[in-house]
Structure 1
Amino acid sequence: MPFPRPVVVLSQCLELSPCRWDGARIPFPFLAKLAPHVEIRPVCPEVEIGLGVPRDPIRIIQDGEERKLLQPSTGRDVTRAMRRFAGEFLGRLEGADGFILKSRSPSCGIRDAKMYGGEESGTVLEKGAGLFAGEVLARFPGLAVEDEARLAHLAIRERFLTKLFALAAFRAVKEKPSMAGLARYQERNRLLLMARGQREAKTLERIAANREKLPLPKVMEEYERHLHAALARPARRASVAAALRRHAEAPWLARQTFFAPFPPALAGTEEEPPLP
């Protein structure tokens, strides 16, 4: 069964270009495996807003209820520029299935960007999403989004890849929408979806069957919403076992993406670093 080719937006400093603030190119060994199987769309938000390479570091400042992106050495406030770039870039982005962003970055960090109490303060008030990454998460809550540090961990990587390739396959259905195409997608992914919980899996089965004879655009919209909800959950052992027991003799079992959700070449057994 051929695999789709997902579209992945990638922080450009990860192996691609020496564009980190200090002019470094960040090692991301997994990219060598991943690149032949996906379409990469690189982006460096900080370069795009004109900060240059190398550049003085920027940081997120928590100013009351507002978060600002400042360059302490110059006093430059690039909050508006970053928000404008994020809105424009993501607004014209089409067909993306996932993002791999730079961890701990004030622009691209997904969950571990530091929020400071002031321009010179060394006190970290909390950690969260950088300004660009925050806009990614707000606009595309259903896509596969991770950082390079967490993808060094096998379980996290496999969950990311499973979601990424499932979304790419569904995008192909959306590009040439039909009830027959949706039914084929549902049939191939039945076990994979069951493993993430019976409730959403049953809902997806019902939507794909479309016994109510709803218009195709409505069916696709509802299916996508529940697909995102299902893929947001990790596979559960109890759900996997129940699904396999229930369908052990089913003729469609051999065609299931559950057994090969992404290209085998992307599987890994290398030693893992500590979880960040």
Structure 2
Amino acid sequence: MTHNAKIPVGISACLLGMEVRHDKGHKRSRYCTDVLSRYFTFRSLCPEMGAGMSAPRKAMHLTEEGGVVRMETTDGKRDVTPLMNDFIQRSVPELSSLRGFILTAKSPSCGMERIRHYTPEGNVLHRDGEGLFAAALKREYPLMPLEEAGRLNDDALRENFIERVFLYDDWCQMVEAGLTPKGLIEFHSRHKFQLLAHCQKTYRRLGPLLADLKSGSLEAIAEEYIDGVMLAMKKQVSRGAHVNTLQHLTGFLREDLSQEDRTHINDQIQAYLREEVPLVVPMTLLRGALRKVHLPYVNAQRYLTPYPDALGLRNRV
């Protein structure tokens, strides 16, 4: 599989180095600008600037009273909630072409989680809120992968987000081309082992769902299917789940590969399980073996190449 076209992904403007924060600073993410920009076409957005605020500006936070959340300056002198809500209503519906969004942590607009809500008096009410813009994105696009830039420093979270973006892009392209039973079955076929690795329970449930596409409307079945897939893909793959999936794929080579080659692959799978080698080692051996045989179904599995190899996401032990 090749990954040629860049994928459209949204990003908080400050992460690209734009001086749009309240202190006229930025929070440039070099991983985004120097690495992910090779594969993603970024659409930058700053909710505060888009809402008509200036840089610099007074710092803001979220207040809550009676279950109503408002965005105000930290000195309590200005309520910018109407401005922010107007921006959200104008901008969010225009983001349907995006395949993911990278947000700024701790922001009252873009923070994805752990955002403090204050009482009108300035005391911390709770610490598990969401930024207003980030919350609107989740409501409007529940399938779209979202992540905070800081969390991309974690190897597992970084791989999980990028894998979900590439899978979601494949789904959107399939739907945009026109949803058909054939297209839905082919999508499931090429992502089947990714699903197995992320969640066996969902894998076992969604297969039968597609077995009889005449049992209901195709659109309803597809919606239930992709809801299940994207929820399962949020789960990080355990080392044991990778081993199980690799062994399943190696089983397809039983008739076409020598005992010596199969043993070598299985030895490296076990070495990965013991944390002696990174996942890329048994994965590369398996992909090399598959090039020697004619197994189109197995070669089409996106589990083997869910994103460009140059990202190096499977290179760590």
Q: Could you state the TM-score of these two structures normalised by the residue count of structure 1? A: 0.88
The answer as to whether partners of 2:11 and 2:43 remain within 8 angstroms in 1 is yes
Structure with larger RCO (C-alpha < 8 A, sep 6+): 1
CA offsets, 1:63-122, max 9 Å, x none? Answer: 232221111447111112212321321123222221101100111111132222336x36
The answer as to whether partners of 1:16 and 1:25 remain within 8 angstroms in 2 is yes
Structure 2 equivalent of residue 170 of structure 1 = 171
The answer as to whether partners of 1:5 and 1:168 remain within 8 angstroms in 2 is no
Q: How does 1:171-186 map to 2 (within 5 A)?
A: 171-176=172-177, 177-186=179-188
Question: Structure 1 residue 164: deviation in Å?
Answer: 0.8
Q: Hey, what's the Cα distance between the residues in 2 that align with 1:82 and 1:267?
A: 38
Q: Hey, what's the Cα distance between the residues in 1 that align with 2:76 and 2:199?
A: 52
Question: Structure 1 residue 230: deviation in Å?
Answer: 1.9
Q: How does 1:1-276 map to 2 (within 5 A)?
A: 1-3=1-3, 5-31=6-32, 32-73=34-75, 75-118=77-120, 121=122, 123=124, 125-176=126-177, 177-210=179-212, 212=214, 214-250=216-252, 251=295, 252-267=297-312
Q: How many residues align?
A: 270
The one-letter code matched in structure 1 to 2:82 is R
RMSD, aligned CA = 2.4
Q: Hey, what's the Cα distance between the residues in 2 that align with 1:127 and 1:7?
A: 29
Q: Hey, what's the Cα distance between the residues in 1 that align with 2:141 and 2:96?
A: 11
Question: Structure 1 residue 214: deviation in Å?
Answer: 4.3
The answer as to whether partners of 2:198 and 2:235 remain within 8 angstroms in 1 is yes
Q: Hey, what's the Cα distance between the residues in 2 that align with 1:201 and 1:5?
A: 29
The one-letter code matched in structure 2 to 1:58 is M
Q: Hey, what's the Cα distance between the residues in 2 that align with 1:82 and 1:59?
A: 12
- Structure with higher helix content: 2
Q: Could you state the TM-score of these two structures normalised by the residue count of structure 2? A: 0.77
Distance 1:96 1:225, change over 3 A: same
Identity rate, percent: 26
The answer as to whether partners of 2:160 and 2:234 remain within 8 angstroms in 1 is no
Distance 1:270 1:117, change over 3 A: farther
The answer as to whether partners of 1:210 and 1:219 remain within 8 angstroms in 2 is no
Aligned-partner SS, 1:84: helix
Question: Structure 1 residue 215: deviation in Å?
Answer: 4.0
Unaligned runs of 5+ in 1: 272-276
Q: Hey, what's the Cα distance between the residues in 1 that align with 2:189 and 2:314?
A: 30
The answer as to whether partners of 1:59 and 1:69 remain within 8 angstroms in 2 is yes
Distance 1:218 1:115, change over 3 A: closer
Q: Hey, what's the Cα distance between the residues in 1 that align with 2:76 and 2:198?
A: 49
CA offsets, 1:31-71, max 9 Å, x none? Answer: 12111212211110001111111111111112232221111
The answer as to whether partners of 1:5 and 1:165 remain within 8 angstroms in 2 is no
Q: Hey, what's the Cα distance between the residues in 2 that align with 1:270 and 1:222?
A: 34
The answer as to whether partners of 1:45 and 1:132 remain within 8 angstroms in 2 is yes
Structure 2 equivalent of residue 274 of structure 1 = none
Question: Structure 1 residue 11: deviation in Å?
Answer: 0.3
The one-letter code matched in structure 2 to 1:255 is A
Unaligned runs of 5+ in 2: 253-294
Aligned-partner SS, 1:59: strand
The one-letter code matched in structure 2 to 1:92 is E
CA offsets, 1:139-175, max 9 Å, x none? Answer: 2232211111111111110010011111101111111
| Larger Rg over CA atoms | 2
The answer as to whether partners of 1:106 and 1:130 remain within 8 angstroms in 2 is yes
